[in-house]
């Protein structure tokens, strides 16, 4: 993960309600611009009283991309939404995001490949899971 303006504590405090959103922003495209960077996110909430009983009966995450501020957010919307959808499915089917072993062995390498391919090919990437 690269250091961004969004990772600085004062910036994160300002944007945390968008990165870690409330239910009313679920499944909506969020676009924030700070300085020379734009954050695009698609928050996901998975409700399951049995699986997530220790986490208020739900699991929340936000699939985000950080792109240059001048980038057209709409060009990345499909990719951000697809990533959110795929990660939701992987979590529901195999606890992909909440299982520490799966997260370490597969998620980080997959995200690294996505970033590399997106940087090399624009908006195309393919990662085998």
Give me the residue spans of the domains in the chain: 5-121
Q: In angstroms, how far apart are the furthest CA atoms of the chain?
A: 44
pLDDT over 50 (residue 70): yes
Q: Which of 48, 29, 38 is nearest to 6 (CA)?
A: 38
Q: How far is CA 119 from CA 34, 66, 114, 125, in A?
A: 20, 11, 8, 9
pLDDT for the residue numbered 123: 62
Q: pLDDT tens digit string along 78-128?
A: 889 999 999 999 999 999 999 999 888 998 888 888 888 887 876 677 777
pLDDT for the residue numbered 81: 94
Question: CA torsion sign, 61 to 106 to 110 to 113?
Answer: positive
Q: pLDDT tens digit string along 2-61?
A: 455 555 666 677 777 777 878 899 999 999 888 888 999 999 999 988 888 887 889 999
């Amino acid at each position: 993960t690269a250091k961004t303006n969004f990772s600085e504590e004062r910036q994160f405090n300002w944007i945390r309600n968008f990165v870690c959103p409330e239910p009313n922003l679920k499944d909506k495209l969020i676009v924030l611009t700070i300085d020379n960077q734009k954050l695009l996110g698609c928050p996901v909430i998975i409700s399951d009283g049995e699986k997530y009983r220790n986490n208020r009966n739900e699991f929340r995450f936000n699939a985000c991309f950080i792109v240059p501020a001048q980038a057209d957010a709409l060009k990345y919307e499909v990719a951000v939404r697809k990533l959110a959808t795929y990660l939701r499915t992987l979590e529901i089917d195999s606890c992909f995001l909440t299982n520490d072993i799966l997260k370490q062995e597969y998620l980080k390498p997959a995200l690294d490949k996505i970033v590399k391919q997106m940087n090399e090919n624009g908006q195309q990437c393919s990662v085998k899971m």
